Amino acid sequence: MKSQARIVIVGGGIMGVALLYHLAEEGCSDILLIEKGELTCGSTWHAAGQCPSLVGNYNLAKIHNYSNWLYPRLEELTGQNVSWHASGGIRLALTQNDLDWFHFMKGIADNVGFRMEIIDAKKIKRINPFISTDGVIAGAWTLDDGHADPSGLTNAMARGATNMGASIQRHDRVTNIEAMPSGEWKVITENRSVIAETVVNAAGCYARQLAQMIGRDLPIVNMQHQYVVTGPIQEFVERNEEIPVIRDPRASSYLRQEQKSGLVGIYEQANMAEAWAPNGFPPWESDSELFPDNLERLMPWLGYAMERMPLFEDAGIKRIVNGAIPHSSDGFPLLGPVAGLKNFWLCCGSSFGIAQGAGCGKYLAQWMLHGDSEINMTGFDPRRFGSYADDSYMQAKGFQDYRMTYFPPLPGEELPAGRPRRLTPLHDKLNAQGCVHTEAFGWERPKWFSLDGRKEDYSFRRNNTFDVVRDECFAVRERVGILDLTGFAKYDVTGPDAESYLNRICANRMPKKPGGIALAHVLSRGGRIGGEMTITRLADDQFYVLSAAAAELRDLDHLTQGRAADEQLEIVNVTDDRGVLVLAGPRSREVLAKITDEKLDDASFRWLSGKEICVAGMPARALRLNYVGELGWELHPAMEHMEAIYDALWQAGEESGIANFGLYAVNSLRLEKAYRGWGAELTNEVTMLDAAMERFIKLDKDNFVGKDATMQQKQAKRIFQLVYFEIEVTDSDVRGGEPIFIGDDCIGVTTSGGYGHFVRKSLGFGYVDPANCEAGTELGIDVLGERCRAIVLKEPAYDPANERLRA
């Protein structure tokens, strides 16, 4: 067995093996996978093997779609039987919201490339004559998915990987992992040790234990999940065709044919669900283990399932499988680097590992070997969780995720489990004013203000927050608005080499003079967008760096990991030390002037500059910028001064009509200004050139990460280009993931959108074939099943000359 390998993967379930296969396929064969038992002996072997196409997330849908593309081909590629059943699936809609979700997903299907039809109850009955369609208003019929034997799939990929030169060591448990002074990892097993440049944790239900070996934890709960198999069903025996997998929200279950029997898996609701090893740490000796079955727990959902397929009830239950599934805190897999460590990756936390395995393996392998994946991995990056995700958080979220398997959250829906985590000093005060909070990286952030006590009527369509958000937007555009945006990630970068270092890791140039502000992007070696930061030079050797709340750990890695040993600088994460208040609107200057002696006129405090000032007797970093496109300041005081400064601003602003606003309003206001969003328009899939952000790249700098690739991209033909558009819609706006057409040709995809209340236009962004990006081009965009006319805009719908910002 190897004592040295470029990459060691720990865990031989479908996730680890799929990664092994795809790393080898990408050309890296110096890889060793170590498995404590037989391949698949964890969660994989007993899985029901379904591989649905329909998932409510554009990037996850790409992962599923790739798996569904690969699995039917695996046997031919590797010679190993995988028992692929191309049964397709039908998900049932019981409510209008379910149906709207189908229309939203149909847009994603058209983009991603899997076949999907929305069908009525009659057609469902034609396809599956045994089903009861009581209460069913429609079905989402996906034709390219099915189910397979999970062990077959895993062993096929293992065979494919070893054929390409990868190695697998079975029956050898990893007992410890040590960081070596050389930067390599020492992976210690029961029988030997292996030195590796890179390690991947693919340990399924044991992923937390493995993380603890390197002093980390992961937000994963191992849920027990059961499916039942019925006795043989004569009607199936007499038929050649297989029924599609049925997914029924009422029964919270999947129902399908298992050979000539029936199979029903239930995601039990309320407080019935149970975790395996509730302290999170299963015993090492567990091997191909099933738990005692517990039918009680499945009631009444099993009953509802039998009502849906009465044939199943008649056949009686023959076998029950109860096994463990890892559930991450938000239901998405953990794919990417471990925060703060070099060359330690995660490929775990997948609750649909069979459906996701191949796709996760493919896109993670691209990221590991080439620095980028071809799909947007932001939502899967493990650094989306921080230390706030403690044991109680992961328990609450994991259970919630399990229960919600058949209830995808509606747009805007706030899920209560595990909250609140990170509160600003204004939390209670804003709550008392009707604030509805949303969660980002543990922070509770204002989303909108319910002034009359109304609750949001969650929907894919415009809802009862529409008018409230319009009023918040008008307050910002016509008077002055105030917003607590404390969740921003914040870092102090100081030292004699701070400027040269930041110039090396960012595409833009650092401001030359103290007080200057630059919007700067971190690029990958391949020139794709890794992060976006706002950097203020406070002194010759002092920079204040801000980035998105959700990017706190990601950007900390960007800031710290490129640093050379001899560079003199210090990087400190000060996110928890400072609060952020946004004061924006044409009357913001008169409000702030009442509580500071600092000169605020344009000549004394110009747009895109920042300095330390005194506000209501307290020091605060003041930056003249914002994301809403108005005259205004961001104030960054010490956290303990937040409340006093908010109170002073509120009091000073009463005459000027000050109003609270939230992130719904921010989305509307930033769209009017055509400001791009990190994670939506700016992702690892695209370059600054694709995103029409060339003005933030300084190619005349000596060097910066991604410069060579950017220079090459400038010469190359663009594959897609960002467009900003206005769209004619009825009662729903673009959300991102909608297909963009010219005639019948799908030429792009939207990335985000919303209603611009002040300009009275529905607006959005999307990436299209560059042949169709000229201003004035007419596009067709499918919004909830309706083809809507959109026009590419030349400039921001609001204040294109930035006059308001410079006022």
Ligand X SMILES: Cc1cc2nc3c(=O)[nH]c(=O)nc-3n(C[C@H](O)[C@H](O)[C@H](O)COP(=O)(O)OP(=O)(O)OC[C@H]3O[C@@H](n4cnc5c(N)ncnc54)[C@H](O)[C@@H]3O)c2cc1C
Q: Within positions 626 to 645, which residues make up the interface with ligand X, using CB under 6 A? A: none
CA nearest to 724, candidates 785, 675, 663: 675
CA 74 vs. chain centroid, Å, equals: 29
Per rule CB under 6 A, is residue 149 in the interface with ligand X? no
d(CA 517, CA 720): 30
DSSP 512: S
Per rule CB under 6 A, is residue 70 in the interface with ligand X? no
Tokens at residue 31, please?
């890889």
Residues 6+ apart with CB under 8 A from 457: 463, 464
- CB of 308 vs ligand X, minimal distance in Å: 18
Strand order in the sheet with 529-539: 517-523, 529-539, 542-547, 489-494, 570-573
Q: Please, what is the end-to-end C-alpha distance for the chain in angstroms?
A: 70
Q: Which of 19, 24, 25, 46 binds ligand X (CB under 6 A)?
A: 46
User: Measured from the CB atom, is 59 or 609 closer to ligand X?
Assistant: 59
- CB of 329 vs ligand X, minimal distance in Å: 15
Per rule CB under 6 A, is residue 277 in the interface with ligand X? no
User: Measured from the CB atom, is 202 or 648 closer to ligand X?
Assistant: 202
- CB of 209 vs ligand X, minimal distance in Å: 7
Round the CA-based radius of gyration of the chain to a whole number and report it. 27
Q: Within positions 352 to 371, which residues make up the interface with ligand X, using CB under 6 A? A: 352-355
Listed ranges 33-41, 228-236, 481-489, 673-681: which one lies at the site for ligand X (CB under 6 A)? 33-41
Backbone angles phi, psi at 60, to 5 degrees: -65, -35
- CB of 204 vs ligand X, minimal distance in Å: 2
Q: Which of 88, 139, 204, 737 binds ligand X (CB under 6 A)?
A: 204
User: Measured from the CB atom, is 309 or 556 closer to ligand X?
Assistant: 309
- CB of 52 vs ligand X, minimal distance in Å: 8
- CB of 244 vs ligand X, minimal distance in Å: 14
Q: Which residue has the tokens 């990417």?
A: 336
Q: Which class for 594: exposed (0-12), middle (13-18), buried (19 or more C-beta within 10 A)?
A: middle
d(CA 684, CA 554): 12
Per rule CB under 6 A, is residue 325 in the interface with ligand X? yes
122-154 burial: b if 16+ Cβ within 10 Å, else e? ebbbebbebbebeebebbbbbbbbbbbbbbbbb
Tokens at residue 360, please?
């996760």
- Do the beta carbons of residue 192 and residue 175 sit within 8 Å? no
| Number of residues binding to ligand X, judged by CB under 6 A | 42
User: Measured from the CB atom, is 54 or 354 closer to ligand X?
Assistant: 354
- CB of 360 vs ligand X, minimal distance in Å: 9
Angle, CA of 534, 539 and 542, to the nearest 5°? 60
User: Measured from the CB atom, is 88 or 323 closer to ligand X?
Assistant: 323
Length of the chain: 807
Q: Within positions 247 to 276, which residues make up the interface with ligand X, using CB under 6 A? A: 265
CA nearest to 446, candidates 472, 464, 466, 470: 472
User: Measured from the CB atom, is 21 or 352 closer to ligand X?
Assistant: 352
- Do the beta carbons of residue 90 and residue 124 sit within 8 Å? yes
- CB of 580 vs ligand X, minimal distance in Å: 38
Q: Within positions 668 to 687, which residues make up the interface with ligand X, using CB under 6 A? A: none
- CB of 636 vs ligand X, minimal distance in Å: 41
- Do the beta carbons of residue 280 and residue 349 sit within 8 Å? no
Per rule CB under 6 A, is residue 323 in the interface with ligand X? yes
- Do the beta carbons of residue 483 and residue 581 sit within 8 Å? yes
Residues 6+ apart with CB under 8 A from 456: 412, 414, 436, 448, 450, 463, 464, 465
User: Measured from the CB atom, is 156 or 682 closer to ligand X?
Assistant: 156
- CB of 383 vs ligand X, minimal distance in Å: 19
Per rule CB under 6 A, is residue 770 in the interface with ligand X? no
- The mark string for 697-726 relative to ligand X (x by CB under 6 A, - otherwise) is ------------------------------
Per rule CB under 6 A, is residue 152 in the interface with ligand X? no
Per rule CB under 6 A, is residue 15 in the interface with ligand X? yes
Can you state the angle between helices 353-370 and 150-163, rounded to 10 degrees? 20
Per rule CB under 6 A, is residue 156 in the interface with ligand X? no
- Do the beta carbons of residue 305 and residue 330 sit within 8 Å? no
Q: Which residue has the tokens 């003199």?
A: 568
- The mark string for 428-467 relative to ligand X (x by CB under 6 A, - otherwise) is ----------------------------------------
User: Measured from the CB atom, is 323 or 527 closer to ligand X?
Assistant: 323
CA 29 vs. chain centroid, Å, equals: 30
CA 494 vs. chain centroid, Å, equals: 32
Q: Within positions 520 to 579, which residues make up the interface with ligand X, using CB under 6 A? A: none
Find the largest Cα–Cα distance for the chain: 87
Q: Which of 91, 225, 558, 587 binds ligand X (CB under 6 A)?
A: 225
Q: Tell me the C-alpha to C-alpha distance, in Å, between residue 655 and each of 277, 398, 647, 651.
A: 59, 48, 14, 8
Q: Which of 86, 118, 164, 321 binds ligand X (CB under 6 A)?
A: 321
Q: Which of 7, 9, 14, 480 binds ligand X (CB under 6 A)?
A: 14
DSSP 503: H
Q: Tell me the C-alpha to C-alpha distance, in Å, between residue 414 and each of 376, 440, 468, 638.
A: 24, 11, 18, 29
Neighbours of 96 (CB within 10 A): 13
CA nearest to 722, candidates 744, 753, 750: 750
Q: Which of 29, 44, 378, 750 binds ligand X (CB under 6 A)?
A: 44
Q: Tell me the C-alpha to C-alpha distance, in Å, between residue 633 and each of 447, 480, 625, 801.
A: 20, 11, 6, 19
Residues 6+ apart with CB under 8 A from 569: 493, 494, 495, 496, 497, 498, 501, 563
Per rule CB under 6 A, is residue 50 in the interface with ligand X? yes
Per rule CB under 6 A, is residue 107 in the interface with ligand X? no
- The mark string for 285-304 relative to ligand X (x by CB under 6 A, - otherwise) is --------------------
- CB of 226 vs ligand X, minimal distance in Å: 6
- CB of 261 vs ligand X, minimal distance in Å: 16
Q: Which of 24, 31, 36, 71 binds ligand X (CB under 6 A)?
A: 36
Per rule CB under 6 A, is residue 68 in the interface with ligand X? no
Listed ranges 296-304, 316-324, 363-371, 718-726: which one lies at the site for ligand X (CB under 6 A)? 316-324
Q: Which of 114, 227, 385, 399 binds ligand X (CB under 6 A)?
A: 227
- CB of 74 vs ligand X, minimal distance in Å: 15
- The mark string for 172-191 relative to ligand X (x by CB under 6 A, - otherwise) is -xx-----------------
User: Measured from the CB atom, is 157 or 377 closer to ligand X?
Assistant: 157
d(CA 96, CA 681): 30
- CB of 287 vs ligand X, minimal distance in Å: 7
- CB of 623 vs ligand X, minimal distance in Å: 44
Q: Which of 9, 19, 24, 34 binds ligand X (CB under 6 A)?
A: 34
- CB of 247 vs ligand X, minimal distance in Å: 11
Interacting residue ranges for ligand X, rule: CB under 6 A: 10-16, 34-37, 41-44, 46-50, 173-174, 202-206, 210, 225, 227, 265, 321, 323-325, 348, 350-355
